[in-house]
Amino acid sequence: MNFSDLGIIPTILKALNEKGYTHPTPIQKQSIPLLLENKDLLGCAQTGTGKTAAFTIPIIQHIYLKNKNQKGKRKLQALILTPTRELALQINENIKTYAKYTSIRSIVIFGGVKQHLQTSALRNSPDILVATPGRLLDLMRQGHAYINTIKYFVLDEADQMLDMGFINDIKKIISKLPKERQSLFFSATLPPSIVSLSKQILGNPEKITITPNKTTEKKIEQQLYFVSKSNKTKLLIHILEINKGGSILVFSKTKYGADRIVKNLDNARIKAASIHGNKSQNARQKTLERFKRGNFYVLVATDIAARGIDINELSLVINYDLPNVSETYVHRIGRTGRAQAIGKAYSFCSKDELSYLKGIQKLINKEIPENSEHPYVEDFGKMSKNTNLKGKKSKNNYRRKKQNKRKNSNSNNRK
């Protein structure tokens, strides 16, 4: 199936073709036709499945067709709420790409910066507004933003919105929206709190779920490294030296840990930088832009800071620390293998992370293949067998192979 089979108009198809988009992802294939029919949607899909295009393309098409027949001053028609500045900027960038051959105007507003430029942009009659909840509420209270003309409403990354404490802000914003609207609700997971919130926003929605194993198993080469905590940094340096040249994203579970990893890499003369919640949004954005430009090739991030990062041709994701929430693993490795691309994800597992590993493999319904061909491999014995994994090779196996190579080399030299 091609994008041209989904009912998308030629004006938008032209922009998609220029970006090399030909075959829709599963979430796009299922969502776009429904949304073009003005149906509400509850979508469960992980990062990297192409959901931004799934909801922005139909909105662009609806607005474009309406604007052609509309005279006079334009009104704000679409609102997309998202939890972080990084994700808001990414979505707005995608909208501009897909709407390249239309006259549709989109703007993005978020906190952490002066609001003057944002209020000026709001006065210029945009068609689509991408916003974080806190800044939008501030501008609404000040009389700079009005959402009573919204026809299309999207709540993206709903689970992260709740994790970050935005639930009350979201409810206040929704109360100001017109009742007659198309509403789209996207979340990577659907715990009871998310289902409850979706019922307040949506009427009788269509439901689409893209399961994690479809996202991870087919498109991403996964490898597991058993290693002691004390050797994780040495293993990371070992892997980075082998994978020079590509853009690499490393996940740390803590802010302090992210900074410590960067310091250790700097000591090893590997240029790296970190992004996490203790850094200002401006600082995070500048670091991300430098990473995209190739000023350095290793970015170390915590989960909240990395959500919404969209980097073309990200060659490798490394889980320096395994996440204690299994779904987070899918979000993380979804940073590589975007859309139709093939990616790589390597995960370090120490003895105290074995229970996390068990949960991850149960979620993705797959045993992650172990890479035991490295100098720091650990054999956790009975403990590793409790994770329902196959028997592990010990570090002696690696050393034995190395010794055999030396023997063969010495033998050839004597000949």
pLDDT score, position 159 = 81
- 65 plus 135 within the same structural domain: yes
pLDDT score, position 196 = 80
pLDDT averaged over the chain?
84
- 61 plus 167 within the same structural domain: yes
pLDDT score, position 146 = 94
pLDDT score, position 336 = 78
SS3 228: coil
The mean per-residue pLDDT over the stretch 294-300 comes to: 90
Distance of CA 179 to the CA centre of its chain: 31
Bigger pLDDT: 170 or 397? 170
pLDDT score, position 209 = 84
Specify if 115 maps to a domain. Answer: yes
Boundary of a domain, candidates 210, 230, 263: 210
7-16, 217-226, 304-313, 398-407: the lowest-pLDDT one: 398-407
Boundary of a domain, candidates 210, 227, 254: 210
Q: pTM surpassing 0.75?
A: no
Residue 413 binned pLDDT confidence (cut-offs 50, 70, 90): very low
Residue 16 binned pLDDT confidence (cut-offs 50, 70, 90): very high
Bigger pLDDT: 258 or 50? 258
- 167 plus 236 within the same structural domain: no
Assigned token pair, 98: 């897909």
Distance CA 81, CA 97 (A): 19
- 36 plus 178 within the same structural domain: yes
DSSP assignment string, 312-354: TTEEEEEESS--SSHHHHHHHHTTSS-TT--EEEEEEE-GGGH
- 177 plus 293 within the same structural domain: no
User: How many structural domains compose the chain?
Assistant: 2
* Structure confidence by residue, pLDDT tens digits, 313-345: 678 999 999 988 787 888 788 777 655 567 889
- 231 plus 319 within the same structural domain: yes
The mean per-residue pLDDT over the stretch 399-405 comes to: 53
- 154 plus 223 within the same structural domain: no
Specify if 127 maps to a domain. Answer: yes
Q: Which range of residues forms the domain containing residue 280?
A: 214-402
- 111 plus 175 within the same structural domain: yes
- 260 plus 170 within the same structural domain: no
CATH of the domain at 86: 3.40.50.300
- 172 plus 319 within the same structural domain: no
- 195 plus 219 within the same structural domain: no
Specify if 413 maps to a domain. Answer: no
User: Residues 12, 13, 15, 16: what is their CA dihedral angle, to the nearest 10 degrees?
Assistant: 120
Boundary of a domain, candidates 190, 210, 230: 210
